[in-house]
Amino acid sequence: MPAKRPAPRLEMPEQESLTPAQRALCDAIASGPRGTFKFSGPFAIWLQAPELGLVAQALGAHCRYKTSLSARQSEFAILTTARMWRAQYEWQAHAPMAEKAGVSAKTIRDIKAGRYPADAPADERAIYDFIIELYRARRVGDRNYRRVLKHLGTTGTVELVGIIGYYALISMTLNVFRAATDPDQPLPFKEP
């Protein structure tokens, strides 16, 4: 039996009735590296608070497109964060991107199932352990810090924390407001 989809908590405004601030948010997203504005997901939710959305989307554009991490490393970190939050929309959006960026299908299945990605490359395993420890302990011990530092360097390690934090914000936004997911795909995670 398919998992029940929770009903979204917000109604999306009609495009023709957007305020100037909402239009500015749409324009900022469409003119940036994402190239389009979709009336779904976190950006649609942020139409309800467009000033927050404007600064958050700028941070997100940097975290996703302008860090020293490779697209594979970044998408791996995004998926691991999405799994920690069981963020349905985020998983549906980023699992295909992660695979396209080079994260193996087996690694994606392992993360989704909550299993350690034992067959993943060393840098992905280091990122995974770093994220899991950060969520569980609210700190990162020296061992996992040194492992990530070895693979990402100082700048990359700082940027990794930024990616984790930004996608935690995204995941919280999606979960609280029950962002609609693709009805043609099964939910990635069981709803509580």
pLDDT 10s digit of each residue in the chain, 192 long? 555 788 889 988 888 899 999 999 999 988 888 888 777 899 999 999 999 999 999 999 999 999 999 999 999 999 999 999 999 999 999 999 999 999 999 999 999 999 999 999 999 999 999 999 999 999 999 999 999 999 999 999 999 999 999 999 999 999 999 999 999 999 999 988
Plot region of 114 (φ>0 → left; ψ -120 to 50 → alpha; else → beta)? left
Same domain, 42 and 76: no
Burial of 103 (0-12, 13-18, 19+ CB in 10 A): buried
User: How many domains is the chain built from?
Assistant: 2
Number of H helices and number of E strands within the chain?
8, 0
This prediction's pTM? 0.94
9, 33, 65 — which closes off a domain?
65
Same domain, 49 and 126: no
Task: Please work out, in degrees rounded to the nearest 5, the angle formed at the alpha carbon of residue 102 by the alpha carbons of 100 and 103.
Answer: 105
CATH number at residue 136: 1.20.1290.10
Same domain, 91 and 141: yes
Domain with 31 in it: 19-65
DSSP output for 134-147: HHHHSS--HHHHHH
Amino acid at 39: F
